[in-house]
Amino acid sequence: MPLIDMYGRKHDYLRISVTDRCNLRCVYCMGDEGVEQLTHSDILSYEEILKVVAAGAELGISKIRITGGEPLVRKGIVGLVGQIASVPGISDLAMTTNGILLPRYAAELKKAGLNRVNISLDTLKPDQYRGVTRCGELQQVLDGIEAALQQDLKPVKLNTVLMKGINDQEVVDFLRMTLEKPLHVRFIEYMPIGDHDRGYPDHYLPLSFVEEAARQAGLPLSPVPLPGGAGPAESFSIPGARGTVGLIHPISKHFCDKCNRLRLTAEGNLKACLYWQDEKPVRPVLNDKKALQALIRDVLTGKPVEHQMAANGICGSVKPGAMRGMSKTGG
Ligand code: SAM
Ligand code: SF4
């Protein structure tokens, strides 16, 4: 029986956070001091992660995304990629990374069986990049993007969180990147996630801002099929461009009705929705595949019809949302 929830949504996608640690501290994801880190014994071992993947694959999970924190800071990550790629039933293996370590790892990841990467990049200005990430060097990510293109980890997608007063004046520069290279730039709305984050009210901008900026710059956006298949983005391209532009509106036009995702947090809790606090630990049932599969179905049964980030972010709490930043839940 495939994984179908109470609202008829089929689930074939598992996002796995392999660590809560990171080599950056992005303003929308972590507080000034970073986040309190889990200890090594708190986080799932690779062997434990593989048990969840194998149990899920038998239930119809075919797509896996490795994320974090920053997945490339966890020791032995290339080995995990190789092991997940060889689990029967897994046909698409992707990673979300800040790209800093991609120059070092892109070739090995490709060889191990990684199909594609999403690289997070919010600004093309070195000083601004240092500010948003609190310590990052832009050139390292740009080199990471080149490494991903060279290794054909495609489609190479860029994740760009749109922030009023921070990168809103760079929208056209990002759009132009798609003209020159086969890059798929996806603008994402700022989400009010985590208790440290006070930036949402000041910096949230709806993605209609991107459409307007494109119009004003004379760069018409025509709808195109999504690169790499299904997903939450609306996809467009500029005539003659080698890449595409994606708009991901978790707030202004949420896509909960098409949600096909489950999430495994770094410490081993299974979540059906990024936003709400509900989650169940997998550790107690890891050695019993039937019980683990029953737990996966159970988590899905409790999946809410939608998140309420917009209501909570603007008006205060409807019911408590996730009080952890994305680095802990896995973005
Ligand atoms: N460290 C990796 C990276 O940055 O790509 C993977 C983990 S990160 C948590 C995954 C994605 O979540 C990134 O693209 C990041 O921009 C996004 N993200 C984190 N906090 C966010 C927020 N408050 N609103 C929107 N996107 C957010
Ligand atoms: Fe690290 Fe990614 Fe969070 Fe930035 S968004 S602090 S790179 S986990």
Domain boundaries of the chain, sorted by first residue: 13-329
Which of 15, 19, 26, 190 is the best mutation target for the ligand 2 pocket, counting ligand atoms within 8 Å of the beta carbon and taking the most? 26
Binding site membership of 120 for ligand 1 (Cβ less than 6 Å): yes
Phi, psi of 145 (to 5 degrees): -65, -45
Binding site membership of 188 for ligand 1 (Cβ less than 6 Å): yes
Contact residues of ligand 2, CB 6 A cut-off: 22, 24-26, 29-30, 68-70, 98, 120, 326-327
Of 27-41, 106-120, 209-223, 315-329, the poorest mean pLDDT is in 315-329
C-alpha to C-alpha distances, 308 to 30, 104, 223, 280, 321, nearest whole angstrom: 21, 39, 28, 20, 8
Ligand 1, atom 20: closest residue by C-alpha:
29
Q: Could you tell me which residues come within 8 angstroms of residue 254 by beta carbon, excluding any fewer than 6 positions away? A: 306, 307, 309, 310
- Could you tell me which residue, 301 or 121, shows the higher pLDDT? 121
Average pLDDT of the residues in 290-313 = 80
* pLDDT given at position 14: 97
Ligand 1, atom 12: closest residue by C-alpha:
331
Please measure the distance between the N-terminal and C-terminal CA atoms of the chain and give it in whole angstroms: 28
* Contact present, 168 and 204 (Cβ < 8 Å): no
Residue 231 has pLDDT above 80, yes or no: no
Ligand minimally distant from the alpha carbon of residue 25: 2
Binding site membership of 190 for ligand 1 (Cβ less than 6 Å): yes
- Could you tell me which residue, 95 or 324, shows the higher pLDDT? 95
Tokens 């039937």 identify what position?
290
Ligand 2, atom 8: closest residue by C-alpha:
69
Binding site membership of 326 for ligand 1 (Cβ less than 6 Å): yes
CA 52 to ligand 2 centroid distance, Å: 24
CA 215 to ligand 1 centroid distance, Å: 27
- Could you tell me which residue, 324 or 223, shows the higher pLDDT? 223
Residue 317 has pLDDT above 50, yes or no: no
Average pLDDT of the residues in 307-328 = 53
Q: What is the dihedral of CA 148, 134, 233, 64, to 10 degrees?
A: 60
C-alpha to C-alpha distances, 304 to 20, 275, 320, nearest whole angstrom: 25, 10, 13
CA 19 to ligand 2 centroid distance, Å: 11
User: What CA–CA distance (Å, rounded) separates 140 from 102?
Assistant: 9
Is 256 strand, coil or helix? helix
- Angle at which helix 289-301 crosses helix 46-58, to 10 degrees, equals 70
* pLDDT given at position 237: 96
> What share of the chain in percent tops pLDDT 90?
73
Q: What is the pLDDT of residues 89-112, one digit of tens each?
A: 999 999 999 999 999 999 999 999
Binding site membership of 163 for ligand 1 (Cβ less than 6 Å): no
Residue 324 has pLDDT above 70, yes or no: no
Binding site membership of 205 for ligand 1 (Cβ less than 6 Å): no
- Could you tell me which residue, 301 or 323, shows the higher pLDDT? 301
Ligand minimally distant from the alpha carbon of residue 158: 1
CA 331 to ligand 1 centroid distance, Å: 5
- Could you tell me which residue, 128 or 330, shows the higher pLDDT? 128
Average pLDDT of the residues in 210-236 = 90
* pLDDT given at position 195: 58
Binding site membership of 96 for ligand 1 (Cβ less than 6 Å): yes
Give residue 313's pLDDT band: very low, low, confident or very high (50, 70, 90). very low
Q: Residues of 169-205 as b/e, b for ≥16 C-beta within 10 angstroms?
A: ebbeebbebbeeeebbbbbbbbbbbbebbebbeebbb
User: What CA–CA distance (Å, rounded) separates 138 from 125?
Assistant: 7
Q: What is the pLDDT of residues 148-185, one digit of tens each?
A: 999 999 999 999 999 999 999 999 999 999 999 999 99
User: What CA–CA distance (Å, rounded) separates 157 from 182?
Assistant: 9
Ligand minimally distant from the alpha carbon of residue 121: 1
Tell me which CATH homologous superfamily contains domain 13-329: Aldolase class I (3.20.20.70)
CA 1 to ligand 1 centroid distance, Å: 33
Residue 318 has pLDDT above 70, yes or no: no
